Chain A
Amino acid sequence: MTETKSESRFVAALWRVAISSVMLVIYVTFLLFVGFERPFLTQVVVPGLSLGILCGVLVIVVSCILTWMYVGWANSHGDDDVAGHRE
């Protein structure tokens, strides 16, 4: 019992650290490009779509997907018994 509990705690911590750091790395990379590589982001992929807009939209989409991934995992991995612990 205690072992599975500590195991599930470890997995939960892994999820938290993984999702947060993926977001942080993606976002900081994006910011560094915004700060230091402006001409790069101004390049146009197809008329009307610059790399900057593409990356910006992607960062927004990725932040949604990462949130949903974590919520999907956390809500399907039994904290049903947590409700029982609440006063």
Chain B
Amino acid sequence: MNTSLGQPDALVIVIFAFFILLSLAITYWAARRTRSTEQFYTAGGKLSGLENGLALAGDFMSASAFLGASGLVAISGFDGMLYAIGGMVGGPILVCLIAEPLREIGKYTFSDVVAYRLQQNPVRIAAAISSLVVTGCYLVAQMVGAGYLIRLLFGLRYELAILIIGIIMLMIVLFGGMIATSWIQIIKATLMIAGSTILTALILARFGFNPLKLFDAAARMNGAGVLGPGGFVSHPLDSVSLGLALMFGTSGLPHILMRFYTVPDSRTARTSVSYAVAFMGYFHLLVFVLGFGAMVILGRDVILRADPGGNMAAPLLAAVVGGRAFLGFIAAVAFATILAVVSGLALSGAAALSHDIWVSAIRGGKASEHEQLWVARGATALLASLAVVLGITFKGQNVANMVGLAFAVAASANFPTLVLAIYWRRLTTAGALASMILGTVGAILLILLSPTVQIDVLKHQTAWFSLRNPAIATMPISFLAGICVSLARPERSAEAGFLKLEKRIHR
């Protein structure tokens, strides 16, 4: 099959250049509106429910959700759906337990909420560190994935691709802050939904607009096994553990939590989640159909030959059913996705570094507006350079386990501490520290001892810990640690602070 993937194609490059210019134009427009720290971190809290819902959905529609998931479905069928479902079931948890208190109590980061009634410095530093672990792993995984994708799509060198992404990301966040990051995310999410809808329609047109006919064709080509669970998760309990990490980790990802500060009130925060789940649900169903479309129309061999990871399934399919212009469009949207997601990650990392560590812990909250803004920008520059260096260092590594680690830490450190801080009166400073530290260290340690590292990376025969994702063990450990340590030594001021916290949440 002859496609123009990986070769510089004039039309593809023109569409691609247009998207970069559009991003920079939005950044320029946003830069003129970014004068205060609040505008930098939260877009001034002025987004509407629909806008923030699209941006939230956009955070989930990453390159791995679009290219990775459709490729996984194209290669293994049903199993490719599991990641998408994991993200979706996080929606009700996020909106019920987290969205509203976060909006009412916090200012820029989730540490604001955890530290609200506890001793500020130790709690903020611990929360900032676990935030940075999550954001860092996620960011490096996105960068490495992006480097390969751009090489595959446009034939650029890996290092050059990483550098380009790093520079554009830096410009977006540095000058445009949350306003530019949000609007690029909103525009990208809209284009992504539109593009996948068109692609899906083009596929389904070949099957009488009946997805079941498509699935049936896939089953007749590759066996009925593609319609059911296969060997994607080796240990049966692994699917539960991974599922829990995805479900609860969603409510512990700093760049997702930060989205609740970009709206005016908790009502809008909730509304934005209901828009987000609608867009995400629709998008994930499209990706599922797309994947099966690629399996039947292209065949697995063609997909695997383009990229052993399967990531090129959707672009190849776009070229075959929609022609070169459509391929250019899908490739450009994939690139915009990477930019938008890494920008959001860099921004939330910068907030942890500057707002939690510098302004609150080091300067005791007494930094001028001017200083805060410049420290935030300095932190952004630092993170962007680090992302480029690490992106290049991790070339050739399997980054899937870094995303797994990000979700595991988010679910085992950030989520339990956040829930205890909001809903349990007796949580103490020591308890919060215990739950965050054990959650973070436990998740990292168990991943190091898991088959992912022991067998796949170090080529040992066996692994100390048999599950690939540790959340099923580390989440309860983190909750228990927080509860036991808090009960052992009560902290009166923390209990008194809980009444104030309850009043602010109101219910």
Q: Are A and B physically bound partners? A: yes
**Residue positions of A touching B, CB distance < 8 A:** 8-9, 12-13, 15-16, 19-20, 23-24, 26-28, 30-32, 34-36, 38-39, 41-44, 46-53, 56-57, 59-61, 63-64, 66-68, 70-71, 74-75, 79, 81-83, 85-86
Assess whether A52 is in contact with B78, with CB atoms less than 8 Å apart: yes
- Asked if B159 is at the interface (CB within 8 A of a chain A CB), the reply is no
Assess whether B88 is in contact with A59, with CB atoms less than 8 Å apart: yes
What are the residues of chain B within 8 A of A30 when measuring CB–CB?
Answer: 85
Assess whether B96 is in contact with A70, with CB atoms less than 8 Å apart: yes
Beta-carbon contacts of B255-267 to A below 8 Å, as 1s and 0s? 0000000000111
Assess whether A71 is in contact with B507, with CB atoms less than 8 Å apart: no
What are the residues of chain A within 8 A of B216 when measuring CB–CB?
Answer: 47-48
Assess whether A12 is in contact with B507, with CB atoms less than 8 Å apart: yes
5 contacts between A and B (CB under 8 A): A24-B93, A35-B239, A48-B216, A67-B273, A70-B95
Say yes or no: A79-B506 contact (C-beta < 8 A), given A42-B224, A60-B84.
yes
Interface size on B, residues (CB 8 A): 56
Inter-chain CB contacts under 8 Å: number: 157
Q: How far apart are the CA atoms of A41 and B265 in the complex, in Å?
A: 43
**Contact partner of B212 among A9, A28, A46, CB < 8 A?**
A46
Q: How far apart are the CA atoms of A23 and B420 in the complex, in Å?
A: 20
Chain A nearest CB, measured from B251 CB (Å): 10
**Contact partner of B236 among A36, A41, A70, A83, CB < 8 A?**
A36
What are the residues of chain B within 8 A of A48 when measuring CB–CB?
Answer: 211-217, 219, 227
Assess whether A20 is in contact with B227, with CB atoms less than 8 Å apart: no
Chain B nearest CB, measured from A19 CB (Å): 5
Chain B nearest CB, measured from A25 CB (Å): 11
What are the residues of chain A within 8 A of B91 when measuring CB–CB?
Answer: 63-64, 66-67
**Contact partner of B277 among A67, A82, A83, CB < 8 A?**
A67
Chain B nearest CB, measured from A85 CB (Å): 7
Of the candidates B85, B214, B265, the one having the most CB atoms from chain A within 10 angstroms of its own CB is: B85
What are the residues of chain B within 8 A of A82 when measuring CB–CB?
Answer: 104, 265-266, 506
**Residue positions of B touching A, CB distance < 8 A:** 78, 81-82, 84-85, 88-89, 91-93, 95-97, 100, 104, 211-217, 219, 224-225, 227-230, 233, 235-240, 243-244, 247, 265-267, 270-271, 273-274, 277-278, 281, 284-285, 502-504, 506-507
Q: How far apart are the CA atoms of A12 and B237 in the complex, in Å?
A: 33
**Contact partner of B78 among A8, A47, A50, A81, CB < 8 A?**
A50
Assess whether B212 is in contact with A47, with CB atoms less than 8 Å apart: yes
Say yes or no: A64-B228 contact (C-beta < 8 A), given A36-B236, A48-B215, A79-B267.
no
What are the residues of chain A within 8 A of B278 when measuring CB–CB?
Answer: 64
Say yes or no: A52-B228 contact (C-beta < 8 A), given A60-B88, A67-B273.
yes
Assess whether A71 is in contact with B214, with CB atoms less than 8 Å apart: no
Q: How far apart are the CA atoms of A49 and B502 in the complex, in Å?
A: 48
Assess whether A31 is in contact with B88, with CB atoms less than 8 Å apart: no
Q: How far apart are the CA atoms of A86 and B45 in the complex, in Å?
A: 14
What are the residues of chain A within 8 A of B503 when measuring CB–CB?
Answer: 85
Q: How far apart are the CA atoms of A48 and B89 in the complex, in Å?
A: 25
**Contact partner of B270 among A35, A61, A71, CB < 8 A?**
A71
What are the residues of chain B within 8 A of A23 when measuring CB–CB?
Answer: 89, 92-93, 247
What are the residues of chain B within 8 A of A74 when measuring CB–CB?
Answer: 100, 267, 270
